Structure 1
Amino acid sequence: MLNRLQGWRERGWRVVDAETYAQAWNRFGGSVATHPLVVAQLAEMADIPVRYLGWEQAGEIQAAIPTWGRYLALSKDVLKRQGKKGLFDLGNAEIILPAAAGAQAPLRHSARYLSALNQGRFSLLKPQAESLAMAREPEDLSKKFRYNQRRELRLLEEAGGVVKPIQDFDSAEIAAMYCDLFQRRWGFPATGAERMAEAVERLRSLLIGSVVFLNDAAIAIQLVYRVEAPEWISVEYVNGGVDPQTREFSPGSVLSFLNTQSAWEDARARSKALRFSFGRSDREYKDRWCNPVPVFQV
């Protein structure tokens, strides 16, 4: 029965290797959660092998997907079933799978938060009730809002606040700051806290953004990963932590402003679209920074 279902799911697809998948991603593009490095590293961390599949037309790969059984690789459902719930955190990441425009490859593996960019590239997608929060362009934020963000940054700096690049710190330091500030902000441990340093180390080359300090102590940090596809840049803001004792300076808001602005500058310098995802549209603060975008599921 299991093999028959697998045969149905994979009809028209063939098994390919990780290198072939990486070539498809680099040719057609994707998102943080489908990037070859992210898939390979987090699957290895979970000790769950990835089955890569390719869809061919006229002898050429036109689409590729990484899978865990009947799900896409890195699925939270698979982690939960294998007793590894919360092993790592990618939030509710935007899923863009590598495929040629118009390929219409049949996607029969379970997946959620599939980007609208997959439309036409894959068939069998169904609209999902939730939406994702995608960062607005700087010009789409009101002048008053931008003025207030710059003012908050100035007041923080005048009080002795310092902004440092996250890449100035090693993985253990980043994990310690993040887990500490997350716990302070939310009152419960961060997802993946036990092995956070390992997860950060595995994806460290993709980390971008800054850390805000006051009196030599970190007061705001965000885990933000960036990958570059041929036509766009995908940025995933997984989660963040803030010291609530410094709320008067709005360090979390300051950090969101700095991280989104620098990402827009980077994308525009490369003449590429930016897809800066804040994950699911589920919190009021995201409405200030983002526009909701539709997503799909299988």
Structure 2
Amino acid sequence: MLNRLRVWRERGWTAIDAAAYAAAWQRCGGSMFTHPLVVERLSALAGIPVRYLGYFSGEELLAAIPCWGRYLALSKEVLKTRGQRELFDLGNAEVILPIDAQACVPVRQRMRYVSELNAGRISELKAQPEGLALARAPEDYSKKFRYNQRRELRLLEEAGGQVRQMLDFSPREQASMYADLFRRRWGFAARGHAHLAEVFALLREFMTGAILFRQEQPIAVQILYRVEAPAWISLEYINGGVDPETRDFSPGSVLSFINTQSAWADARALGKPLRFSFGRADREYKDRWCHRVPAYRI
């Protein structure tokens, strides 16, 4: 029965290897969640083999997908059923599958938060109620908003604040700061806290962003992963933490300003659009920084 279900689910698709999938991603583009190395490394950490599928027109590979059974690879649902939900956290990341711009293919694996970029390229997509929050361009904020953000940064620096880069620190140091600030902010442990250093080491080449310090102590951090596709930059804001005792300085807001400004400058220097996702559009603070876009599911 299970084999018949897989044959039905994969009809029209052909098994391919990891190298072919990586080549499709580099040609057609994708997001952090579907990046070949992210999929490969986190799947190995979970001990779950990846089945790569390709959709061909003659000899031409039009689309590719990494699968965990009937789900997209790295799926929360699979981790949950295996008792591994606390292994790593990718939030509600935007899913962009590598599909040729001129193609429209049938995809039957289950997934959520599929990007609007795939909307005309997958025949089975259904709109989901929850959209995604994508960071606005700098000029889309009012002059008053930008002035206030620069003022808050200046006041923090005058009070002994410092801006340092995430990659100035080792994965173990990153994990320690994030775990501490997350618990301070929310009162409970960050998802995947026991494996943070290991995950940060595996994904180090994709980590970006700044950390705020005051009087040599970290006060705000955001976990950001950045990948570069041929036609855009995909950047995911997974989660963050702040020291509530420094709320008078608005460190979370200051850090969002620093990180979004830096990401836009980087993307524009490369001549590429930026898809800086804050995940599910479900919080009022995200509306300050983002515009809401549709998301889809299968």
- Give your verdict on TM over 0.5: yes
Looking at structure 2, the residues matched to 211 and 83 of structure 1 have their Cα atoms a distance apart, in angstroms, of 32
Q: Does 1:32 align with 2:50?
A: no
Q: Provide the secondary structure at the position in 2 that maps to 1:221.
A: strand
Looking at structure 1, the residues matched to 124 and 3 of structure 2 have their Cα atoms a distance apart, in angstroms, of 21
Q: CA deviation at 1:59?
A: 1.2
Q: Does 1:17 align with 2:24?
A: no
Q: CA deviation at 1:85?
A: 1.1
Q: Does 1:236 align with 2:236?
A: yes
Q: Which amino acid aligns with 2:194?
A: E
Q: CA deviation at 1:141?
A: 0.7
Match of 1:220 in 2: 220
Match of 1:263 in 2: 263
Q: CA deviation at 1:58?
A: 2.0
Q: Which amino acid aligns with 1:245?
A: E
Q: Which amino acid aligns with 1:84?
A: Q
Q: Which amino acid aligns with 1:290?
A: C
**Hey, which of these two has a bigger chunk of strand by percent?**
1
Q: Does 1:64 align with 2:58?
A: no
Question: Any residues of structure 2 matched to 1:108-257 within 5 Å, and which?
Answer: 108-257=108-257
Match of 2:102 in 1: 102
Q: CA deviation at 1:67?
A: 0.3
CA contact (8 A) 1:102 1:120 kept: no
CA contact (8 A) 1:125 1:296 kept: yes
Q: CA deviation at 1:86?
A: 2.2
Looking at structure 2, the residues matched to 10 and 120 of structure 1 have their Cα atoms a distance apart, in angstroms, of 20
Q: Provide the secondary structure at the position in 1 that maps to 2:295.
A: strand
Match of 1:50 in 2: 50
Aligned Cα root-mean-square deviation (Å): 0.6
Q: Provide the secondary structure at the position in 1 that maps to 2:148.
A: helix
- What TM-score do the two structures reach when normalised by structure 1? 0.99
Looking at structure 1, the residues matched to 135 and 151 of structure 2 have their Cα atoms a distance apart, in angstroms, of 21
Point out 4+ residue stretches in structure 1 off by more than 4 angstroms.
none
Looking at structure 2, the residues matched to 291 and 162 of structure 1 have their Cα atoms a distance apart, in angstroms, of 29
Q: Provide the secondary structure at the position in 2 that maps to 1:66.
A: strand
Deviation string, structure 1 residues 158-182 (Cα, Å, up to 9, x no partner): 0010000111000000000000000
Q: Aligned residues: percent identity?
A: 64
Deviation string, structure 1 residues 120-177 (Cα, Å, up to 9, x no partner): 2221101111011000011111111111000000000000100001110000000000
Q: Provide the secondary structure at the position in 1 that maps to 2:40.
A: helix
Match of 1:74 in 2: 74
Q: Provide the secondary structure at the position in 1 that maps to 2:248.
A: helix
Gaps of 5+ in 2: none
Question: Any residues of structure 2 matched to 1:80-91 within 5 Å, and which?
Answer: 80-91=80-91
Q: Provide the secondary structure at the position in 2 that maps to 1:105.
A: coil
Gaps of 5+ in 1: none
